[in-house]
Amino acid sequence: MRGDSNMRMSDAKWWLGSAVVIGLLLYVLQHDFSHLRAPDIPFAGQVVKLPSPTCSPVGGPCTVSDPPRMLALMLSGDVRPLRPFDLELRLPDTVLPQAGPATVDFVMVGMDMGLNRYTLTRQADGSYRAKIILPVCSSGRSDWVAKVSAIVGQEMWTAEFPFVAEPSKGQHD
């Protein structure tokens, strides 16, 4: 008799847990969470794509330029998936009075990694910074491209910085 009541209790817990999971799934599917991502930068000026860098921004600044335009990107800390690391973007001091918003999108070529856009925060010294967390790629890849955009006057300077993140140490690193 006691076994039957334990089994019924276990079944009830399973059904309750299942109902909670289904309820959460329905809630997520019915709601729009797009307001949580960084907004697109409204811009009507000229987009200027800077040349591809020959360096990696991991561990030290990587600079691309097309004078007088210049972007220097640095990723520091433990640059691996699911670990927060620091991003710093620098523009030439001469353009700082005209500098506006800046964003960075992290993409993986040929792989849909979802939207990984960060709005960079301008610091008192004129640099832009953000704390970044990359998702884990289910195939184990760690080759990324940081697509940087910064508005300077009537131009949007863009550049793509390829880099390799350290691999994850474990499944839930």
Which pLDDT tens digit goes with each residue over 1-52?
555 666 676 777 888 777 777 766 666 566 655 555 655 656 789 999 999 9
Contact 106, 75 (CB under 8 A): no
**Together in a domain, 94 and 55:** yes
Residue 23 and residue 69 in one domain: no
Q: Does 147 share its domain with 124?
A: yes
Handedness of CA 7, 11, 12, 16 (dihedral sign): positive
Residues 7 and 79 reside in one and the same domain: no
Under 8 Å between Cβ of 134 and 92 = no
Establish if 173 belongs to a structural domain. no
pLDDT digits (tens, 9 = 90+) for 53-94: 999 999 999 999 999 999 999 999 999 999 999 999 999 999
Q: Are residues 46 and 129 in the same domain?
A: yes
Mark whether 12 and 57 lie in a shared domain: no
- pLDDT score for 20: 77
Q: 68, 88, 67, 90: which is closest to 77 by C-alpha?
A: 88
Domain of residue 18: give its range: 2-31
Q: Does 57 map to a domain?
A: yes
In this structure, the number of other CB atoms found within 10 A of the CB of residue 75 comes to 24
Burial of 105 (0-12, 13-18, 19+ CB in 10 A): middle
Instruction: Give pTM, 2 decimals.
Output: 0.74
Whether 169 maps to a domain, the answer reads no
Q: Residue 77: what are its φ and ψ, rounded to 5°?
A: 100, -155
Q: 7 and 62: one domain?
A: no
Domain count, the chain: 2
